[in-house]
Structure 1
Amino acid sequence: MEVLTKTYSRLGFSGLDTAEMVTTMNKVLANYHVFYQKLRNYHWNVKGSDFFDLHEKFEELYTSAVTNIDEVAERIRVFGKTPMSTLAEYLQVSDIKETGTDLTPIEMAGQVLADIETLDGFLVEVAEAANEVGDMATMDLMNSMIRSLEKQHWMLTMWLNNSKN
C-alpha cells in the first residue's frame, strides 16, 4: 500500500497551495463589504407597504454578512496573509457596486438577489481551490456560506415573485 505524504509548512499548505484561495477570499471580502453597506442602506431607506418585511430581512442579512466577513478575514490570517481591509480597496476590487437610496422595495430585493449570485460565485471559486489542495476547513466554511446564501436567495425570490403578482 502506497502512503501519500505531503510537505508540511503552515497547516500543511504552502504559500502556492493557498495563493489562489487567498486572492479569491480577498475578492469575497471586498464584495461582502459593499454588499453589507448596501444592505444597511436598504434597511435604513426601505419604504412602503413592504417596510416591515424587508427592514427585518435586510437586518438579518447584514448581521450574517458581518459574521461571514470576519470568518473570511480570519481564514486569510490562518494562512499567514493579510486580508484586504480598506474601503478604497473594497470599492476598487468589488464586482458588487453601490446604489442610491431611492430604490423601490422590488428594486432593492432584485439588487440583493444579484449580489447574492455574485458572492456565491466567488465562494464557489474559493471552495473549488480549497478542494484542489485538500483544505477541508476552508471548503466547510465556504460551503456553509453558500448554503446560507442560497437559502436567502430562494426566500427573496419567492417574496419578489409574490410582490410582482
Structure 2
Amino acid sequence: MKLSKINKIGLKIADSEKVAKKLNELLSNYQIFYMNVRGFHWNIEGSDFFVYHEKFEELYNESLHNIDEIAERILALGQMPYHSFGSYRQFSTIMEVEGVIKSKDAVKEILEGLQQLLIIERKILKLSSSIGDEGTVSLMSDYITEQEKLVWMFSASL
C-alpha cells in the first residue's frame, strides 16, 4: 500500500474519513445531549431536586469529557471535528429540549438521548472494527458499557 493512502496512525485515509464522518455525527449528538442535560441540571424542581441536580451535573461533566475525546479522535484520524452549533443541529438526531423542570420528564429525555447515542456508537464500533481502528473501537466500547449502565440506572429511577 502506498504511504500516500495511509494516514499518520497507519489507517487508510478513505476508511478514516468514513469513521470520522460518523464520529462527527456522534459529536453533534453529544453536544445537543450535553446542552439538554445542562438545562435539566439548571432548571429541575421538586422534592427530588438535590438527587437529580447532582446526578445531572455528573452526567453533563462526563458528556463534556466524551465530547473532547471524540473531537480528539477525529483529529487523530486526520480529519476536522465539527465545531459550530449549526453543524451540530444539522447532523444531530437528538433534538434540543427546553422548559423541562420535572425530573421524570428530564429522565425520559435523557433515556431517549442515550438511546440515540448508543445506536450511533454501535454503528461506529462495527465500522471501526471492520477497518482495524482499535483506538475508536476501544472508545466506543467504553462509551457503550458506561451508557448501558446509565440506561439501567435512570430507568430504575422511573
Coarse TM-score class (shorter-chain normalised): over 0.9
How far residue 82 of structure 1 moved from its aligned partner, in angstroms, is: 0.5
Q: Deviations over 1:91-142 (max 9, x none)?
A: 1211001112244211110000010000011111111111001111110011
Would the aligned equivalents of 2:40 and 2:100 in 1 still touch at CA under 8 Å?
no
SS in 1 for 2:157: helix
Deviation at 1:7, TM superposition (A): 6.0
Amino acid at match of 1:52: F
C-alpha displacement at 1:157, in angstroms?
0.4
Q: Which one of the candidate residues 62, 66, 69 is aligned to 2:67?
A: 69
Identity %: 34
Larger displacement relative to structure 2 (102-111 or 44-53): 102-111
Identify the residue that residue 58 of structure 1 maps to in structure 2: 56
Q: Which has the larger radius of gyration?
A: 1
After superposition, the CA RMSD in angstroms is 1.2
Q: Deviations over 1:142-165 (max 9, x none)?
A: 1001111111111000011xxxxx
Match of 2:150 in 1: 152
Structure 1 runs, 4 residues or longer, greater than 6 Å off: none
Note the alpha carbon deviations across 1:49-68, whole angstroms, 9 max, x for none.
11111111110110000110
**Aligned position for 1:47:** 45
| d(CA) in 1 for partners of 2:48, 2:76 | 42
Deviation at 1:79, TM superposition (A): 1.2
CA contact (8 A) 2:17 2:79 kept: no
- Report the Cα offset of residue 19 of structure 1: 2.2
TM-score by length of 1: 0.90
TM-score for both structures, normalised by structure 2:
0.94
Q: How does 1:107-126 map to 2 (within 5 A)?
A: 107-126=105-124
Count of residues paired in the alignment: 155
Structure 1: state its 5+ residue gaps: 1-5, 161-165
Hey, what does 1:97 align to over in structure 2?
Answer: 95
Alignment partner for residue 16 of structure 1, among 11, 14, 17? 14
Structure 1 Cα separation of the partners of residues 12 and 85 of structure 2: 29
Name the amino acid aligned to 2:28: A
1:132 and 2:130 correspond? yes
Within 1, Cα distance between the matches of 2:64 and 2:88? 15
